[in-house]
Structure 1
Amino acid sequence: MSTPVSSIRNLGPAFETACTRAGIPSAEALRALGADAAYARLMEAGTKPHFIGYYVLVMALQGRPWNDCKGEEKAALRRSFDALKAQCFDTDRSAFERQLNEIGVIPRR
């Protein structure tokens, strides 16, 4: 039996539709993938990258309110989001250039 993605706190019908489009059919599948792999799939399926969407997903999978994270934890999530986005969208760069971009050496486009 599968549980709808929208059954997870803070994830609504629009997010569930995006997950379905990305091949993530259930809350169980979403939890099994984890936030990073799931968000990568969402971006690959056409979801525009947005830090708040990523942040809400991470908090939701931890069972926390969407605005519960602050300070260094939030800054670390931002770095993770930027690295994930770079992996999905910097395909015209070499692996070395992508790594440089992840640490902020290459200027943003």
Structure 2
Amino acid sequence: MGEPKGDRLYVNLGASQVRRRLKAFGHGVRKVQSIGRNQSLIIHTATGQHLTELTDKFADVGHANRESELNEPVENLRNLGPASAAWLRDAGITSIKELRNVGAATAYLMVKRAVPRASLNLLWALAAGLKDRDWRDLTDAEKQGLIAKLDQ
């Protein structure tokens, strides 16, 4: 039994989450499989309106037609839990690449506007995560530097 035939859509969600979103969709989806942490491959034969509906289901998390075009989701950033990742998504930051581009301080301010209860621990987590460090390892000087960026 070979690989199902069809086009490929790469998405920034785990396979079980993709299957939940696709429940009762059924328009040409042949297979869903995991391709890494919080990333999946959908093999489909959807065209036209059905293809638009399929891609719309994943617009909030990021999708691409080639695996090389799919940016790593914010959920994969070290130090972030599901709530923090959801806050970033709500603020419009869906990938680690986008987070790098805006920077930890700006991303924190974007989240803080939408979620006033977000604490400075989020800022520490973002800054350290972008350097692949544990947030508790940030020095006081690094934290003060981040706070100074907030005031600019």
**TM tier relative to shorter chain:** 0.5 to 0.7
Residue 113 of structure 2 aligns with which residue? 44
Residue 28 of structure 1 aligns with which residue? 97
Q: Distance in 1 between matches of 2:140 and 2:92?
A: 33
Q: Does 1:66 align with 2:135?
A: yes
Which structure has greater helix proportion? Answer: 1
Runs (5+) with no aligned partner, structure 1: 85-109
CA gap of 1:29–1:53, structure 2 versus 1, over 3 A, is same
Runs (5+) with no aligned partner, structure 2: 1-69
Q: Distance in 2 between matches of 1:16 and 1:49?
A: 12
CA RMSD of aligned residues (A): 1.9
Question: Which structure is larger by alpha-carbon Rg, 1 or 2?
Answer: 2
Identity score, percent? 33
Residue 10 of structure 1 aligns with which residue? 79
Residue 123 of structure 2 aligns with which residue? 54
Deviation at 1:18, TM superposition (A): 0.6
Would you say how many aligned residue pairs link Structure 1 and Structure 2? 83
Say if 2:105 and 2:146, in contact at 8 Å, map to a contact too.
no
